[in-house]
Structure 1
Amino acid sequence: MGQILTRQEEGQDSRRRTISFSSEEPYRRYFGMEILDHAAGAVNLERLNSVGVLLFNHDVDKVVGRVIRAWIENNRGMAEVEFDTDADAEKVFGKVQSGTLKTTSVRYSVDSWEEVRPGATSADGRFQGPCQIARRWTPLEVSIVSVPADATVGVGRSDADTAPDLSAYERQIQVNQNTFRR
Structure 2
Amino acid sequence: MSPVQKPKKSTSSSKKPMTKNQTMKRDLSFNVRSLDEEKRSFELSFSSEEPYQRWFGSEILSHEPGAIDLSRLNEIGVLLYNHNRDKVIGRIDKAWAKDNRAYATVTFDDDAEADVIYQKTKAGTLRAVSVGYTVDSWEEVAAGKSSSNGRHAGPCSVALKWQPYEISIVSVPADATVGVGREMEEEPIEMEKGDYSYYERQILLNRNFGGITK
Place the TM-score, normalised by the shorter chain, in its bin.
0.7 to 0.9
User: Could you tell me how far 1:2 is from its partner in structure 2?
Assistant: 2.8
Match of 1:99 among 100, 124, 127: 124
Match of 2:92 among 56, 67, 74: 67
Pick the structure with greater CA Rg: 2
Question: TM-score, normalising length from structure 1?
Answer: 0.77
Taking the aligned partners of 1:78 and 1:62, their CA distance within structure 2 comes to: 22
Taking the aligned partners of 2:98 and 2:70, their CA distance within structure 1 comes to: 13
Secondary structure of the corresponding residue to residue 5 of structure 1: coil
Secondary structure of the corresponding residue to residue 121 of structure 1: coil
User: Could you tell me how far 1:3 is from its partner in structure 2?
Assistant: 3.6
Secondary structure of the corresponding residue to residue 100 of structure 1: coil
Q: Which amino acid aligns with 1:42?
A: A
Tell me the equivalent position of 1:15. 40
Q: Which amino acid aligns with 1:46?
A: S
Match of 2:151 among 126, 129, 134: 126
Secondary structure of the corresponding residue to residue 67 of structure 2: coil
Secondary structure of the corresponding residue to residue 44 of structure 2: strand
User: Could you tell me how far 1:91 is from its partner in structure 2?
Assistant: 1.2
The question of 1:43 aligning with 2:68 is answered yes
Mapping of 1:1-182 within 5 angstroms?
Answer: 1-8=27-34, 10-148=35-173, 151=180
Q: Is the 8 A contact 2:129 2:181 kept in 1?
A: no
Higher relative contact order (CA 8 A, sep 6+): 1
User: Could you tell me how far 1:151 is from its partner in structure 2?
Assistant: 4.7
Q: Is the 8 A contact 1:12 1:97 kept in 2?
A: no
Taking the aligned partners of 2:48 and 2:172, their CA distance within structure 1 comes to: 16
Q: Which runs of 4+ in 1 moved over 6 A?
A: none
Taking the aligned partners of 2:61 and 2:84, their CA distance within structure 1 comes to: 22
Identity across matched positions, percent: 51
Taking the aligned partners of 1:106 and 1:48, their CA distance within structure 2 comes to: 11
State which drifts further: 12-21 or 35-44.
12-21
Question: TM-score, normalising length from structure 2?
Answer: 0.66
Taking the aligned partners of 1:40 and 1:68, their CA distance within structure 2 comes to: 21
Aligned Cα root-mean-square deviation (Å): 1.9
Tell me the equivalent position of 1:160. none
Q: Which amino acid aligns with 2:32?
A: T
Q: Provide closer, same or farther for how the CA distance between residues 41 and 28 of structure 1 changes in structure 2, counting only shifts above 3 A.
A: same
Secondary structure of the corresponding residue to residue 47 of structure 1: helix
Q: Is the 8 A contact 1:33 1:132 kept in 2?
A: yes
Q: Is the 8 A contact 2:36 2:42 kept in 1?
A: no
User: Could you tell me how far 1:87 is from its partner in structure 2?
Assistant: 2.3
